[in-house]
Structure 1
């Protein structure tokens, strides 16, 4: 089939790679004028590593990123709230977990697209989708171009998704009441002691950092903010002031970030959709399901979409409608659960009531240790031999 993918992010690029391997003719359209990324870094949990292994990219990811060993939780004074070893989760699921800069992951995917001869048309901002000839949808771009392929895949993000507007009749994301200040810190001497996730919990505030290597970490400081404003750069001194009373590691990481390298992002997600497709237009990634960063699964689920879509999509249009319906059924329950769990975690994490935060911190250690439950949830629907899983498609 001829397939147009709107969006060259993780979802769109990985879907293009997977579908081209199945023999489909794929072209990717990106609204930005060139390669760009949102966010500092990403944790690729074992379910994402499975998909990257299927694409033959896991060794490259391992070389670019850091293999995560533990996750630590502390309060804003640095008192431990417990830790969990990640290796049992990796053993249960059969794949390791990696931390990688989003820029590096995106560059790797785009490099693979070029190697396979898959064109990414930059500066193609889709402005509307309408019913076209022979039951196929037509995508119109701001530059006057249009395309009418056999299938349109909307991987055009959580904000202003033209594909979501066409499929669902709405595309407004839901602001969840907090902001992230994000950055990448790098120094000539170690910033942290090990390749791990470090998570500090405050009262209506949070600081998390993830190790790529001991001298390089990406991080997000977060704070409750009732009203959404404009995203954009933020002064390093402002963020440092916000966390000046927190553990010394937090301040050291902020100061090791380029002064112009910190960005303020208002955090949105989407209510789960019951239907991901209309006619020959299908949603994937954040356009279909945009969980909060507190879920830890945004990029992972985008990669899963790509793998499942390749498994379900027929070679021709003959049975396309039923294939898209089955794909949606296979993916919607898992992604909706992840979205809802991300919201529940965020509500607890950004609670501003002191007593509620104290009780949350008491529970934190008990909630960290169930690798089996995480493996079952994140591995659902994937053929992970260690879990006894079978491919769904």
Structure 2
């Protein structure tokens, strides 16, 4: 791996690279690593001066850990992750257990790979270390991409500091506010009106009981609270989400979703939920966005990956997982069609578009189901949930069962 710092000289002619990845988050680093492991040189640009991941906990289903195995990093991930035995959904107002999902060995036996929870920064560091050890990967910080202009045989990419690159393929993994997405559509992120407060704390400092390694989801009217241990059980991750009345009233972005609204939203929840929400860090909050699905995620020599392509609400726990699937698939397609980038990226779109669109479209009604307010709808939801068995995987098989292998078109 070659590391390059910011240029301090006058503008130079465009640097010639084979494959250019824009964005150094989990999806971008995984993409660079997957492509390099396939034998292709890859150059990654990250706008920040250091590689860092914003946020706390991360859930990784078998579809993601399967990709980590292919990348050769699963052992390192498992060493710092937590292997939950089950996921449990509870009513945030009454405290009632509604349903669960058996994880652990039963899940691993069904899907071939484990379900893990971990700190986002731990996964980023593992991928970063693997990229730095890979001679085909070049990482470059302090590079904010301004534009990409397709040519006949390459793409000219320019940055804010006037540095530029000519690449045979450009893969945009530059997140929710992707600049390169505008080459495909002129749209804006869609705000759900919900806001999340996230944070971790030493597990010994948690104010409520911690039930082993369980993932615990509390659902209530226009709110939910997610809890699980990370960093090999040393820290406890909590995410408190609620719908902002101020957002609905048209209050400016900087003034809605306040800590006062958080406390008010959780005021009528059970003691365990209210105390947990009160303990989450108030230093920062995140409005929750997605976007409408795209008709195309590849065009010529340019393709979108991760949140640049298909940002989705977090309720499925699939944002990073789908980015990892993107990385695996685009690398396989570039390897299979090594002499024809446009064919490779068209194949990537063909393999990925329907699946990621399904994830985006299913996340919204799934969130609505968590956040029901109507008493009749709540009663019906809870009755259905109580009747299902914890080892009934029919509703999640579509996510976690292995998809057709990258490079193979299903018949």
- Which stretch has the larger CA shift, 302-311 or 360-369? 360-369
What corresponds to 2:273 in structure 1? 250
Q: Deviations over 1:129-173 (max 9, x none)?
A: 2234x43221111111111111100001112x122111x132422
Aligned residues of 2:337 and 2:343 also touching (Cα < 8 A)? no
Pairing 1:131–2:150 present? yes
SS of the equivalent of 2:396 reads helix
- Stretches of structure 2 lacking an aligned partner (at least 5 in a row): 1-16
Query: CA RMSD, aligned part only?
Result: 2.6
TM-score, normalized by length of structure 1?
0.88
Higher mean Cα deviation, 268-277 or 225-234?
A: 225-234
1:220 and 2:239 aligned: yes
Matched, 1:85 2:107: no
Q: What's the CA shift string for 1:97-129, capped at 9, x where partnerless? A: 100011111111111111214332222111222
The answer to whether the 8 Å contact 2:21/2:170 transfers is yes
- Equivalent pairs counted in the alignment come to 382
Question: Deviation at 1:214?
Answer: 4.8
Whether the 8 Å CA contact 2:242–2:265 is kept in 1: the answer is no
> Larger C-alpha radius of gyration, 1 or 2?
2
C-alpha displacement of 1:359 = 2.6
Range that drifts further, 368-377 or 202-211: 368-377
SS across alignment from 2:49? coil
1:210 and 2:210 matched: no
1:24-56 per-residue CA deviation (whole Å, 9 max, x = no partner) reads 111111122222223321111011111111112
> Displacement of 1:267 after TM fit?
0.9
Give the alignment's TM-score, normalised by structure 2: 0.85
Partners of 1:373 and 1:211 lie apart in 2 by 25
Distance 1:70 1:143 in 2: 49
Match of 1:381 in 2: 403
Q: Which runs of 5+ in 1 are unaligned?
A: 384-389
CA contact (8 A) 1:89 1:374 kept: no
By how many angstroms is 1:281 displaced?
0.8
Q: Which residue of 2 aligns with 1:114?
A: 132
Residues 197 and 282 of structure 2 are in contact (CA less than 8 Å); yes or no, is this contact kept in structure 1? no
Query: Do 1:277 and 1:283's aligned partners in 2 also have CA atoms closer than 8 Å?
Result: yes
Pairing 1:20–2:40 present: no
Partner of 1:149, secondary structure, is strand
Relative to structure 1, is the Cα distance of residues 68 and 115 closer, same or farther in structure 2, using a 3 angstrom cutoff? Answer: same
SS of the aligned residue for 1:351 comes to: coil
* Aligned counterparts of 2:156 and 2:388: Cα–Cα separation in 1: 48
Partners in 1 of 2:215 and 2:330 — Cα distance? 31
Deviation, structure 1 residue 288: 1.2
**Do the aligned partners of residues 140 and 171 (structure 1) sit closer, same or farther apart at CA in structure 2, a change above 3 Å counting?**
farther
Q: Corresponding residue for 1:7? A: 23
SS in 2 for 1:16: helix
| Residues 368-377 or 298-307, more deviating | 368-377
Please give the per-residue CA displacement for 1:70-91, whole angstroms capped at 9, x wherever unaligned: 0111111211112221233321
User: 1:66: how far off?
Assistant: 0.2
In structure 2, the residue matched to 1:358 is 379
**1:338-389, CA deviations, whole angstroms, 9 ceiling, x for partnerless residues?**
1111111012223333332333233233467431442344325255xxxxxx
Would the aligned equivalents of 1:194 and 1:214 in 2 still touch at CA under 8 Å?
no
Match of 1:152 in 2: 170
Structure 2 residue matching 1:272: 3-state secondary structure: coil
Q: Any conservation in 2 of the 1:232–1:264 contact (CA below 8 Å)? A: no
